[in-house]
Structure 1
Amino acid sequence: MKRSFKYILGSALMLLVVSCSDLDKEPISNFSGQGFYKKPSDAQAGVTGIYNSMQSVFRLNFAYWGEGRADNVTTKHAGDPRALQSNDLTPIINSAKWDGFYTLISRANYAIKYTPQVFGEGESALKRELLGQAHGLRAVAYFYLTRIWGEVPLITEPYESVDQDVFVKRNGTDEVLAKVEEDLLFAVENCSASYSGAKNRVLFTKGAAYAFLTQLYMWQKRYDKAIAAAEKVIGDSQYTLVAMNDWNDIFVKGVSTESIFEIGYNEVQTNALRTLYALGSDSDYVPSTKFIASLEKGDLRQPRIYDVAEVQPRKIWKFFGQGFKDESPEPSSNNIVLTRLADIILLKAEAHANLNQSAEALELLNRIRKRAGLDVMDEATANNEYKSVIDAILHERSVELCFEGHRWFDLVRTGTAISTMQPINGLSNKGNLLWPLHESATLRNTNMKQNEFYK
């Protein structure tokens, strides 16, 4: 996949030398925002550097954080895959590191501070777009940080002075999520509704901001707000469900009409999708027996997800196409889709169901079911087969969004992680739902206290 925009990301570090992991700050002499941000093209390069950081953060860990601890996958691999599946998290596993997020946040903070200065006082569409994107990307970083680790340091200014405190403490989750909402609302007001060509799905747009607001409000159980945000996405004509025959193309080719925001990769800036899902018996994850048994008979997605001819499927086809047989260990150039229309439709359905609006919930649920070749579901059928309309929707999310990095977060936000995972790996303590802080964070900063469960 050769997308010209994505090659810009590969050169961003040559244009923007910003290094600021959470508590291991570079000396101020190594970078000066004032020295770098001189003209609009510098501001563009600065925001491009944020996207570059996002590529690094999610290339592997989107699956570790969103799928590795959940019930849809199983693994034979040691390291993080085994630790997450067996619920044996420790402060030395790689997925416990948050440094990449804080590099992303640092770059966003520089862009937010200095972009207005290079454009001056006048109105500029480009200035608004760049600031909107920087706020939106920072919001995504903090949203993931809070869902993974709970309380985290909330840093909203670049480190430029020895007078600034580098031994920061963790902020409460409510405070961090309030900043996430504020940043996303800023993105709604300032991002463009769309961009030309392939850039439209790999740059942060108003639609992306509304999609992440929907996810945020569902995490907070603010169902009315989730419905309102979702309606902004669903009502946008640029987002449509693809036909079932093109379902794999959402991930194989990328930038589909169903996609809302995806992280752009190419042959230079690659990710670990092959390692995660495609190397046959040597991939990190394969579909669990429980997941396979959960699919309804006649589901058209099943043969597009994995090889149904194998008793224990050795690879996941979803991201590479039906019949994929390439055993190459080379990194992948596929984009990683963080949110798409089906995700938002099902979240809106779930919000309606939580407000006892079953008719609205079922209409949305059945949009996804009908595309998958499944019978339309009514309330009686949902109650009979899945105990409730909410459970039917959560089951549909498990199948439709399988392996895309949503399942663990769905289990946690709906309060079903322990009941689902306890029979599998003994998960029993709410404190264990969070990741431990990596030892590198706690050793560098005595103010950084370990999550209680892992002390």
Structure 2
Amino acid sequence: MKSNYLKTCAGIFFIAAIISASSCKKFLETKQFDRSNEVAFYKSESDFEQAVLGAYSSFDNLYHSGNFYFLLTDIRSDNTSVYVPGGAAGPLSKSEYDDFTLTANNEHLQGYWDVSYSLIQKANDIITFLAAANINEAKKNQFKGEAEVLRAIAYFNLVRLYGGVPLVLARFTNINDSYQKGRNTVDEVYTQVIADLVDAQTLLVTKHNTGDNSGRADKGIATSLLGTVYLTQKKYAEAATEFKKVIDMGEYSLMPNYLDLFKTGQQGNSETIWQAYFVAGVSGSGSSFPNYSAPLNSEDVLIQTGVAFGWNQPTSDIQNAYDLTDVRRSAISDGFTKDANYYPYKYINTYVDIAAGTGDGNSGKDWYVLRYADLLLMYAEAINETQGPAGAFSSIDLVRVRAGLAPIATTLTKDQFREAVYLEERRESPFEGHRWFDLVRTGRAVAVMNSKVKPLSNEDNVGLASPINEHNLLLPIPSIVRAIAPQISQNPGY
């Protein structure tokens, strides 16, 4: 059931939606609104509460379909494509991600950069003004910890997508000013992400239960995210330590039925570590995941209102990665019938939403940032890398057994177990933005993607018509950012 926290945020989203129609371009223009009056705003506990909720609206926008996070992640992987039957490869701004022909002028590239720095801007404000705030100390700690986690996730996504980016930690009134220092190194960005998460661990409650605070950052989120950061850096021992802390909390457990994870009303379920929440039927506060994931011509069948865009279709490659008995395979459907005609267009049925009134941008379908199943698999990976598979079988088996598979063979070597956990990571959360990052952090992206190059006319295409190379692992820096701050160098190859 949606909490009061979501209802409060819905009002903020509605206001943001009114502004956002013209803000995408203006956000990076040199003339910006005067934020000096905000100094007078940050006084009471209520003021900071509103500010933090406002920051969560930007957090949701990181994953909102309007900023096309799935293009930057899933579409670039071998899990989804716009080039399979039912997909719509027409809009260049979408297909450029799929076939790796991106230019620095891509509108979604700029949009994601914008919303990331909007979140950083809000987090910096909260942290800055809290220092001198005369409010309850426990609340002050909570607000600071939340802001640090939100800033950390923004920079973690940015550094994985773009490489080194401007690291701005002080309050700024004009976002253009934040770019004038140029790019920080990848290591510097990661150092700050880790510092924010380590401090947040000391400030936040262990876990927010369902209800008004469901979805807000807590120690479980900070610790899980910190472990993921360490794993990305190949600091396996440190990653295993953080993941074990979360396991030992005893606050999380797998949902008995995998497909129940994606039903309406699952906010704050036992498996959720962190979700970006959306509210159905409220203009500006819902998501468009169902519309963007629905194959062409599936209007009135897979979605109730709005357009079926066909921009995020599962490939045969991911479907064939499952055993036939794997319950997770049923998250992919082979086709649909409309007006007595059968369309053999695969689609992600966990994003189907036929609730009345949930048109484009109005669905209540949420986005999982982290689930407990993801953490168990990452823990198994980290343990295997540090001491071999002996201590990792129980974690991977929890996920496999839930999927209807037998426990993994205990005779696997370290190398064999590594491949097994990579496969399980892919099969557990194929449409939640992890696959591309997993391929990159494990050094497999170029080899795996190039092994699947096919003509775009081939229905098994994963989005590649020609090979990629190392420069494709990062996105180009948006051209408008470099126009404002030429000292921000472009990534190689662009």
Distance in 2 of aligned mates of 1:307 and 1:328: 24
Per the alignment, residue 460 of structure 2 pairs with none
Please give the per-residue CA displacement for 1:209-259, whole angstroms capped at 9, x wherever unaligned. 011111101100000111111011112222110102653346763321100
Is residue 2:370 matched to residue 1:339? Answer: yes
Is residue 2:313 matched to residue 1:300? Answer: no
Per the alignment, residue 34 of structure 1 pairs with 39
Per the alignment, residue 414 of structure 1 pairs with 442
Distance in 1 of aligned mates of 2:99 and 2:176: 44
Distance in 1 of aligned mates of 2:14 and 2:2: 21
Label 1:162 to 1:391 Cα distance change in 2 as closer, same or farther (>3 A): closer
Per the alignment, residue 277 of structure 1 pairs with 293
Is residue 2:313 matched to residue 1:286? Answer: yes
Matches of residues 288-437 of structure 1 in structure 2 within 5 Å?
288-307=315-334, 312-320=344-352, 329-331=359-361, 332-380=363-411, 388-422=416-450, 423-424=452-453, 425=464, 426-437=466-477
Is residue 2:255 matched to residue 1:227? Answer: no
- C-alpha contact 2:294 2:310 (8 A) present in aligned 1: yes
Matches of residues 105-144 of structure 1 in structure 2 within 5 Å?
105-119=120-134, 124-144=137-157
Distance in 1 of aligned mates of 2:355 and 2:128: 48
- How well do the aligned residues superpose, as a CA RMSD in angstroms? 3.0
Helix, strand or coil at the partner of 2:348: coil
Distance in 1 of aligned mates of 2:247 and 2:449: 33
Deviates most, 230-239 or 248-257: 248-257
Please give the per-residue CA displacement for 1:165-224, whole angstroms capped at 9, x wherever unaligned. 652300001000000000011111111223343345410010000111111011000001
2:481 maps to amino acid: A
Paired residue for 1:71, among 40, 61, 78? 78
- C-alpha contact 2:60 2:276 (8 A) present in aligned 1: yes
Per the alignment, residue 173 of structure 1 pairs with 186
Helix, strand or coil at the partner of 1:96: helix
2:436 maps to amino acid: W
Is residue 2:9 matched to residue 1:9? Answer: yes
Per the alignment, residue 204 of structure 1 pairs with 217
- C-alpha contact 1:184 1:210 (8 A) present in aligned 2: yes
TM-score, structure 1 length as denominator?
A: 0.90
Distance in 2 of aligned mates of 1:139 and 1:411: 22
How far has the Cα of 1:429 moved from its partner? Answer: 2.0
Label 1:341 to 1:184 Cα distance change in 2 as closer, same or farther (>3 A): same
Label 1:379 to 1:428 Cα distance change in 2 as closer, same or farther (>3 A): farther
Helix, strand or coil at the partner of 2:392: helix
Is residue 2:193 matched to residue 1:184? Answer: no
Aligned residues: 447
Distance in 2 of aligned mates of 1:118 and 1:4: 26
Label 1:244 to 1:215 Cα distance change in 2 as closer, same or farther (>3 A): same
Label 1:388 to 1:201 Cα distance change in 2 as closer, same or farther (>3 A): farther
Deviates most, 361-370 or 338-347: 361-370
Distance in 2 of aligned mates of 1:102 and 1:42: 21
Label 1:156 to 1:14 Cα distance change in 2 as closer, same or farther (>3 A): farther
Distance in 1 of aligned mates of 2:382 and 2:37: 45
Please give the per-residue CA displacement for 1:59-102, whole angstroms capped at 9, x wherever unaligned. 02331222110001121323343111111111122332201100
Helix, strand or coil at the partner of 1:151: coil
Is residue 2:258 matched to residue 1:240? Answer: no
Distance in 2 of aligned mates of 1:42 and 1:302: 47
Distance in 1 of aligned mates of 2:174 and 2:323: 59
Helix, strand or coil at the partner of 2:197: helix
How far has the Cα of 1:326 moved from its partner? Answer: 8.5
User: Where do 5+ consecutive residues of structure 1 fail to align?
Assistant: none
Calculate percent identity across the aligned residue pairs: 26
Helix, strand or coil at the partner of 1:117: coil
How far has the Cα of 1:315 moved from its partner? Answer: 2.0
Label 1:25 to 1:136 Cα distance change in 2 as closer, same or farther (>3 A): farther
Distance in 2 of aligned mates of 1:72 and 1:226: 26
- C-alpha contact 2:124 2:170 (8 A) present in aligned 1: yes
Distance in 1 of aligned mates of 2:129 and 2:78: 44
- C-alpha contact 2:201 2:223 (8 A) present in aligned 1: yes
Per the alignment, residue 55 of structure 2 pairs with 50
- C-alpha contact 1:279 1:328 (8 A) present in aligned 2: no
Helix, strand or coil at the partner of 2:205: coil
